[in-house]
Amino acid sequence: MSKTIFQKIIDREIPAKFAHEDDLCIAIHDVSPQAPVHVLIIPKKPVARLSEATAADQALLGHLLLTAAVVAKKLGIAESGYRIVINNGRDGGETVPHMHVHLLGSRPLAWPPG
């Protein structure tokens, strides 16, 4: 199976603007932002989508959410608020088969999201 674009970014085969990196994940600025702050928190371990995560991924999933909070604080949007989104499947808006968390902020976000 070929690498996803996210695996290529993790392997430094494709450049990206990093906001964070640790042993378990990276956080990069989205190239097509939907808000003034739009960062993707991506696990280094490839998990195709949330619906394919297993109990063995529980700590990793929690780490991604806690990392989103750290990045939000680092980027100055923790106080005003932000949105976390995980797309799953075609109807959920998934475009890359490598689960990731969207962190959106720095503007009012409407509900429902669309």
Catalytic residue set: 100
User: For residue 52, how many other CB atoms are within 10 A of its CB?
Assistant: 11
Q: Kindly report the length of the chain.
A: 114
Q: How is 21-46 classified by DSSP, letter by letter?
A: E-SSEEEEE-SS-SSSEEEEEEESS-
Number of H helices, E strands in the chain: 2, 5
